Structure 1
Amino acid sequence: MISLEKLINKTDPAWPIVKSWIDSAKNKIDVLPVDSAKADTALYESQLNTYSTLGSVIYNTGGILVDNGWIRILGSGSERLNRTVAEWNKDKTTKNFGDKPPYLLIADDAVGGFFAINLGGLGKDIKNVYYLEPNTLTWQPLGAGYGEFLLFCFDSDLSKFYKGLRWEKWDQFIANLDGNKVYTFRPYLWEPATNIDKCSRKLVPIEEMYKFNIEKSEELKNAAVIKKEEIKE
């Protein structure tokens, strides 16, 4: 484990660049307050330095909420988003702090979609961000690194990206949404011909949603492989 002192880059940190992106963002951005002690711990446990864009977000924010909290970008934890990058990945993609995971979870959204940096477990495009779609339960490459992912969150047309995943008056339901909760739907969004406006929905812990989505994703993938083999026969 690299010491905290060596992880803090005082000559060329990435935060001023990220802050400039936030200040000029087209979408609504809420930078959650940072607790310096928590930031120290979160940075050390992540083993990222503040020269990196992700390290700078961890060290300088309690997290970042996009579009009234629709997307939750993890930082060092706060009252509204009480999760850090390292803590959230522990026992999901890593066993111990400092481990190199197959991918690193860095953000999620109100409908159970998860964003992760690929570190070899999702494809050959190392350090690019993937999205676990709640309507297909497959990891989709965004063709962007973490910095470009932030710009996507700050400046892109999110209604276009989330077409079919936002119900009527969705914004009224998530304005004060707990960052540890997400909506689940019946019928499931990945079932054929599901219309989100006709689904029932309820809030569940994000821990529960992640576990379910990963397990179901593997189940659907295995079923697709079996079906493909049967067609070949």
Structure 2
Amino acid sequence: MNGSAWDEVLPAVQAAPYPVELVAPDPDRAEGCLTALGITRRSWLGAVVAHTGGICVDHGWLRVLGSGGSGLPDIAAQADPASRWLVVGHDVLGGQFAWVPAEPGVPPTVHYFGPDDLGWLDLEQGYADWLYAVLAGSLTQFYDTLRWPGWETEVASLGLDEGIHTWPPPSTVEGKDLFKASRKAVPMAELVSFHHEMARQLG
């Protein structure tokens, strides 16, 4: 589509070294999201919102948010007007990726909240650089310590509104080995809330 960054995003999707699934968008909802966020299709973020309900990467381990559908929330609903943080994706363990504004004149970068350390880490990448790296294969190394034998089948069987709750949690010494931990499917919103509540309790 003329004037859209989708011409750059789609080839990256097609070249990914692991399975990537595009959730079909609802055109009206996509337009509403673009308007709410004040972005255009010329950016990678705008192109993802306009052309997908979301992107499921690596057997569904990472769900990149778009305009919503099939159990995924629309990205505009994840915006925090007060802080101007925008959650742009979450992983199956309840980790979150957020696009965070920097100081005036400095472009926003993507930050990651991990269920293993319960803190936000600045990945020092803009949205396009982050998503390009994800589609180029960065998840394999990024999640190296948080995966277990057979995770692909387990993750692929989940609904897109579900994640995997592990006990003991991965933020504890006892819960570091997810193969030995108890694992069950729970609603994603519940899982994200659980990890953030643990972070609050630990200060």
Is the TM value for this pair above 0.5? yes
Amino acid corresponding to residue 20 of structure 1 in structure 2: P
In the TM superposition, structure 1's runs of 4+ consecutive aligned residues that sit over 4 Å from their partners are none
List gaps (5 residues or longer) in structure 1.
Answer: 1-9, 223-233
Displacement after TM superposition at 1:181 (Å): 0.9
Say if 2:78 and 2:86, in contact at 8 Å, map to a contact too. no
Amino acid corresponding to residue 83 of structure 1 in structure 2: P
* Pair 1:160–1:195, CA change in 2 (3 A): same
Say if 1:28 and 1:154, in contact at 8 Å, map to a contact too. no
Aligned to 1:164, the other structure's residue is in SS state helix
* Pair 1:190–1:139, CA change in 2 (3 A): same
Aligned to 2:144, the other structure's residue is in SS state coil
Are 1:202 and 2:202 counterparts?
no
Displacement after TM superposition at 1:51 (Å): 1.8
Say if 1:73 and 1:107, in contact at 8 Å, map to a contact too. yes
- 1:51 aligns to what? 42
**For the residues of structure 2 that align with 1:125 and 1:206, how far apart are their CA atoms?**
32
Aligned to 1:137, the other structure's residue is in SS state coil
Indicate the larger mover: 173-182 or 37-46: 37-46
Indicate the larger mover: 18-27 or 137-146: 18-27
- 1:226 aligns to what? none
- 1:159 aligns to what? 140
List gaps (5 residues or longer) in structure 2.
Answer: none
Amino acid corresponding to residue 72 of structure 2 in structure 1: N
Displacement after TM superposition at 1:201 (Å): 1.1
- 1:115 aligns to what? 97
Are 1:132 and 2:113 counterparts?
yes
Q: Identity of paired residues, percent?
A: 30
Larger gyration radius, structure 1 or structure 2: 1
Amino acid corresponding to residue 135 of structure 2 in structure 1: F
**For the residues of structure 2 that align with 1:140 and 1:65, how far apart are their CA atoms?**
22
- 2:28 aligns to what? 37
**For the residues of structure 1 that align with 2:110 and 2:179, how far apart are their CA atoms?**
29
Q: 2:63 is matched with which residue: 72, 85, 92? A: 72
Are 1:184 and 2:165 counterparts?
yes
Say if 1:29 and 1:66, in contact at 8 Å, map to a contact too. yes
Amino acid corresponding to residue 121 of structure 2 in structure 1: Q
TM-score (norm. length: structure 2): 0.90
- 1:5 aligns to what? none
Aligned to 2:193, the other structure's residue is in SS state helix
Amino acid corresponding to residue 73 of structure 2 in structure 1: R
**For the residues of structure 2 that align with 1:156 and 1:209, how far apart are their CA atoms?**
25
TM-score (norm. length: structure 1): 0.79
- 2:77 aligns to what? 87
More strand, by proportion: 2
Number of paired residues? 201
Aligned to 1:134, the other structure's residue is in SS state coil
Aligned to 1:41, the other structure's residue is in SS state helix
Say if 1:118 and 1:125, in contact at 8 Å, map to a contact too. no
Q: CA RMSD in A?
A: 2.1
